[in-house]
A and B are shown apart, each in its own frame.
Chain A
């Protein structure tokens, strides 16, 4: 069936380095994508979103890239900080699906001091 998946379960980066978290999606009808950050004991926190008519969107220290040709989504975090340590989820919305989001299992980002 259709699914959203993450390539790596964990990612360890050095403080100050850039982080890249990747996500593959398989539903070509998906038209909206969101990255969430979830810290331990908290609900998912919205980071950045992108619509399918765009291929890049930038926020504060974060950039989301969308490659519809290969159905790939990535989150880039510049100058990673200890506070960035969390589980990151990509989510996709399938057009016409009542904005129900399909989530991947998540990837843990660990920042080394």
Chain B
């Protein structure tokens, strides 16, 4: 059974940093790209970042480029989202998502439980 267990959310001040983690199980982790999608309070879904199975290729939404870094540890079956220079508009529930096949354009077949990031003074 595929499971994505997220951790690392919380309250952070504007300009601060936070790291999210997503521990995966139930599938061969290195074979799949992974992604982060966020949802601001009461709003819709926004794709944030993605990383290939090897970790060699990374992708970012324009809204987070230069501030967020996605990475993965294929020994620990974990994907991370390091967030710097956080802004109030980054406040959201962040979801980790597994890409369905080898191509990210196929979208996401499994999602984590979500973790709330609140950026406020």
Do A and B pair up? The answer is: no
Binding site for A on B (CB under 8 A): none
